[in-house]
């Protein structure tokens, strides 16, 4: 017997409202904490007023909140199932002949729909806000956008052959590398020349090196005010290769992966992110099933605290397993597909096994 439309919509509405309350609470908490931290940093920057910091925190929060959506699904599912049990609505549904699988169906369908919307709508929007936040933050705190730190290495392939690029800083706002060395090789992989420059600006189809010094085996070192090196990289691909992968939109990933491969760059990280986004609906479904394992118990028998604690521990265990699998995939130990899908599918299978044992004997 299929669950009725009215009852199914009622369960779905209760589940959705609980999940949204949890997610918006977490979103507000992340925003508040980030705003407090940014206000602390604002004292060292000119022009970083309260309004600017509030806008920057708002731009940064969606990308961070995206990472906690699975927990919003877990806690929302547990809250809705416990509320339905407390009000004896699940008892009435069972008495009417509905099994746990039937009143779990609306929650599972809703988890799939939310997962699809997160991947196709929320992720691109959060990415755009994150890009705007990076630009604003670079202007406020990084003195022109130059991000200093460890040495940057980049490899490219162009019509002239390959080149290995070493730089000491990235100016993402202006698509510029600082303190650069280009080790240029021909199409056969033989060393041609080394080009050193304080600044290399990425333009359409070439790098523009200023105050460059060219060293080769056959000629004396020469200096140029401007020196051009061909490239197939675009500014977006350079930022993707050097910046955080999570700042890349779901819709942009296939094209970026293809072009980075043509440029001779490693795409493992981006393949993993792409597969992880595809697996996001499966992860949300796994969270619903995990919540159901610990939340469908009749509350009059007691043990509410144990139920909640067990669900939270299981949910965090699934999250940790997902992170470990992704680390293994990023390191090349397992394939990116296996790394992204293994933990959600295994957790779903184990949860179904537990529910079959509890509900169907």
Structure confidence at residue 218 (pLDDT) = 80
| Cα–Cα distance measured from residue 312 to residue 305, given in angstroms and rounded to the nearest whole number | 11
Band (207; pLDDT cuts 50, 70, 90): very high
- Residue 253 pLDDT greater than 90, yes or no: no
In this predicted structure, which of 134-148, 215-229, 282-296 has the lowest mean pLDDT? 134-148
Share of the chain above pLDDT 90, in %: 38
Query: What pLDDT, in 10s, does the model give residues 299-314?
Result: 555 567 777 888 889 9
Percent of the chain as helix, strand, coil, to the nearest 5: 60, 20, 20
- Residue 277 pLDDT greater than 60, yes or no: yes
Pick the closest to residue 142 from 176, 166, 172, 180 (CA basis): 172
Structure tokens belonging to residue 244: 């955080």
- Residue 245 pLDDT greater than 50, yes or no: no
Q: Measured at the alpha carbon of residue 240, what is the angle toward residues 44 and 133, in degrees to the nearest 5? A: 35
Structure tokens belonging to residue 172: 């993402």
Share of the chain above pLDDT 70, in %: 88
Mean pLDDT across the chain: 84
Q: Higher-confidence residue: 170 or 351?
A: 351
Structure confidence at residue 171 (pLDDT) = 77
Q: What is the mean pLDDT of residues 161-166?
A: 86
Q: Higher-confidence residue: 186 or 340?
A: 340
Structure confidence at residue 285 (pLDDT) = 95
Largest CA distance in the chain: 91
Burial 113-145 (b: 16+ CB within 10 A, else e): ebbeebbeebbeebbebbbebbebbbbbebeeb
Torsion of CA 291, 294, 298, 301, to 10 degrees: -150
| Cα–Cα distance measured from residue 104 to residue 80, given in angstroms and rounded to the nearest whole number | 11
- Residue 69 pLDDT greater than 90, yes or no: yes
Q: What is the mean pLDDT of residues 219-223?
A: 88
- Residue 117 pLDDT greater than 80, yes or no: yes
């Amino acid at each position: 017997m299929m669950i009725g439309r009215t009852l199914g919509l009622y369960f779905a509405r209760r589940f959705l409202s609980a999940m949204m309350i949890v997610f918006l609470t977490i979103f507000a908490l992340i925003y508040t904490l980030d705003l407090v931290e940014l206000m602390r940093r604002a004292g060292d920057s000119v022009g970083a007023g309260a309004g600017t910091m509030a806008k920057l925190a708002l731009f940064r929060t969606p990308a961070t909140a995206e990472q906690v959506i699975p927990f919003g699904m877990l806690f929302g599912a547990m809250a809705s199932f416990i509320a339905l049990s407390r009000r004896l609505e699940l008892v009435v549904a069972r008495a009417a002949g509905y099994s746990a699988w039937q009143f779990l169906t609306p929650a599972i369908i809703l988890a799939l729909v939310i997962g699809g919307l997160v991947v196709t709508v929320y992720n691109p929007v959060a990415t755009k806000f994150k890009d705007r936040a990076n630009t604003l933050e670079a202007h406020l705190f990084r003195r022109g956008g130059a991000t200093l730190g460890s040495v940057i290495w980049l490899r490219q392939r162009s019509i002239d052959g390959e080149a290995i690029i070493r730089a000491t800083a990235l100016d993402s706002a202006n698509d510029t590398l600082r303190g650069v060395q280009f080790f240029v090789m021909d199409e056969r992989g033989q060393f041609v020349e080394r080009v050193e420059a304080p600044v290399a600006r990425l333009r359409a189809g070439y790098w523009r090196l200023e105050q460059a010094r060219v060293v080769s085996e056959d000629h004396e070192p020469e200096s140029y005010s401007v020196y051009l090196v061909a490239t197939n990289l675009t500014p977006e691909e350079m930022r993707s290769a050097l910046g955080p992968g999570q700042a890349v939109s779901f819709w942009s990933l296939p094209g970026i992966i293809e072009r980075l491969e043509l440029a001779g760059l490693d795409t493992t990280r981006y393949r993993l992110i792409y597969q992880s986004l595809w697996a996001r609906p499966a992860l949300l479904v796994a969270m619903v099933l995990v919540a159901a394992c610990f939340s469908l118990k009749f509350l009059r028998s007691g043990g509410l605290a144990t139920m909640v604690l067990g669900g939270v521990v299981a949910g965090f265990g699934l999250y940790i397993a997902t992170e470990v699998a992704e680390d293994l995939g990023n390191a090349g130990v397992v394939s990116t597909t296996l790394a992204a899908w293994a933990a959600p599918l295994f957790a779903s299978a184990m949860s179904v096994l537990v529910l079959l044992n509890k509900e169907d004997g």
